[in-house]
């Protein structure tokens, strides 16, 4: 059973087309990079794959479940890092993680573990608003793997990463099916064995460790 099967995913906002008939097949353990310029539809695609929004048309199956019907169940097994970190500024790093633990029904003991993984143990008691952008991004990544998800979806995780960031990415992606979106071809080839290029909502090309000529 493949981890993710997307068939003819299309999405439009009103009459504005965002995705046009995207097919995607991801096997377990695959690391797939979605490359494309701004506005190519990467974020829209990722949000659909993460079950944040429903596609206007098309089919999506994740881990054998129909993603359009079993969204809530799937969300328990998916880790998603969105474009903006989505953290609570007034809460500390530890409290942010604890809160999301509570929402997921996960054990709070995971919190110090995750903070350690992300290299944030020193700033556990600092409010999220006081953390640097890079630290916030790391915290968001840690949050995404709190519940040990089977599928990881990352929207431009490199966007505000600091020096420790890429190493964290490698660690969380290890042995975990991942789909990530990025501009950065170097990062894509470093982290992922496969790349898919999106252009104006359509799949423009795909391959393994593709060297893409724009």
Partner 1 sequence: MRFATVAVAIARKDLMSEWRTRELVPALAQFVVLALVIANFGFQIDSHNASAIAPGVLWLALVFAGLIAFGRAFAAEREQATLEAMLMTGAQPAAIFAGKALAAGLLLVVCEAVLLPALGLLFGVDVSAGLVGAVLLATIGMAALGCLFAAMVAQLRARELLLPLLTLPLWIPFIVAGGQAVQSAMGGSGAFDQAVKLLLDFDILFVVLTSLAARFVLDD
Partner 2 sequence: MTRYFYAAGGAVLLMLAAAGMIFFFAPEDALQREVQRIFYLHVSSAIAAYGCFAVVLLGGVVYLWKDSLVADRLARAAALVGVVLTTVTLVMGMLWAKPIWGTYWTWDARLTSTLVLWIIYAGYLLVRRLAAPGRQAARFAAVVGIFGFVDVPIVHFSVTWWRTQHPGPVVINDALPPEMLATFLFTMVCTLILAGVLIAIRYRIETLLDAKPVAAVVSAPTQTEPAR
Pick one of 117, 162, 184, 204: the residue that binds partner 2 (CB under 8 A).
204
Question: CB-side exposure of 162: number of CA atoms within 13 Å?
Answer: 13
Is position 99 an interface residue for partner 1 (rule: CB under 8 A)?
yes
Residues 75-94 that bind partner 1 (CB under 8 A): 75-76, 78, 80, 82-91
196: partner contacted, choices partner 2, partner 1, none (Cβ within 5-8 A by kind): partner 2
Question: Contacting partner 1 (CB under 8 A), which of 50, 62, 94, 180?
Answer: 50
Cα 167 to the center of its chain, rounded Å: 16
Q: Answer yes or no whether residue 20 interacts with partner 2 by CB under 8 A.
A: yes
Task: Report H helices in the chain.
Answer: 42-49, 71-75, 93-104, 110-117, 133-144, 165-173, 185-191
Contacts for 72 with CB less than 8 Å, ≥ 6 apart = none
Torsion, CA 44, CA 49, CA 55, CA 58, rounded to 10: 130
Q: Which of 153, 203, 212, 213 binds partner 2 (CB under 8 A)?
A: 203
- The site string for partner 1 over 153-192 (x = CB under 8 A, - otherwise) reads ----------------------------------------
Confirm or reject binding of residue 72 to partner 1 (CB under 8 A): yes
Please choose which of partner 2, partner 1, none residue 203 contacts, taking the beta carbon within 5 to 8 angstroms, the exact cut-off set by kind. partner 2
Give the integer Cα–Cα distance in Å for 163 and 177: 24
Number of helices (H) and strands (E), helices first, in the chain? Answer: 7, 10
Among 24, 67, 111, 179, binds partner 2 (CB under 8 A): 24
Location of structure tokens 């505000």: 160
The nearer residue to partner 1, 74 or 203, going by C-beta atoms, is 74
Given a contact cutoff of 8 angstroms between Cβ atoms, the answer to whether 196 and 46 are in contact is: no
Residue 185 in the binding site for partner 2 (CB under 8 A): no
Summarize as ranges the residues that interact with partner 2 (CB under 8 A). Answer: 7, 10, 12-15, 17, 20-21, 23-25, 54, 56, 194, 196, 199-204, 206
């Amino acid at each position: 059973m493949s981890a993710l099967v997307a068939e003819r995913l299309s999405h439009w906002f009103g009459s504005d087309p965002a995705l046009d008939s995207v097919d995607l097949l991801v096997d377990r353990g695959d690391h797939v990079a979605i490359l494309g310029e701004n506005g190519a539809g990467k974020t829209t695609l990722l949000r659909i794959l993460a079950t944040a929004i429903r596609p206007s048309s098309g089919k999506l199956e994740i881990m054998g479940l129909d993603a359009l019907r079993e969204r809530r169940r799937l969300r328990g097994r998916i880790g998603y890092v969105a474009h903006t970190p989505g953290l609570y500024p007034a809460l500390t790093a530890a409290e942010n993680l604890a809160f999301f633990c509570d929402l997921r029904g996960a054990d709070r003991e995971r919190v110090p573990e995750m903070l350690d993984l992300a290299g944030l143990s020193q700033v556990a008691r600092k409010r999220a608003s006081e953390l640097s952008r890079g630290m916030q991004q790391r915290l968001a990544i840690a949050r995404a793997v709190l519940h040990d998800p089977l599928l990881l979806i990352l929207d431009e995780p490199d966007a505000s990463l600091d020096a420790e960031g890429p190493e964290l990415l490698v660690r969380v992606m290890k042995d975990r099916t991942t789909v990530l979106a990025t501009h950065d071809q170097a990062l894509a080839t470093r982290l992922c064995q496969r790349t898919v290029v999106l252009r104006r909502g359509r799949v423009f090309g795909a391959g393994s460790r593709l060297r893409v000529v724009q």
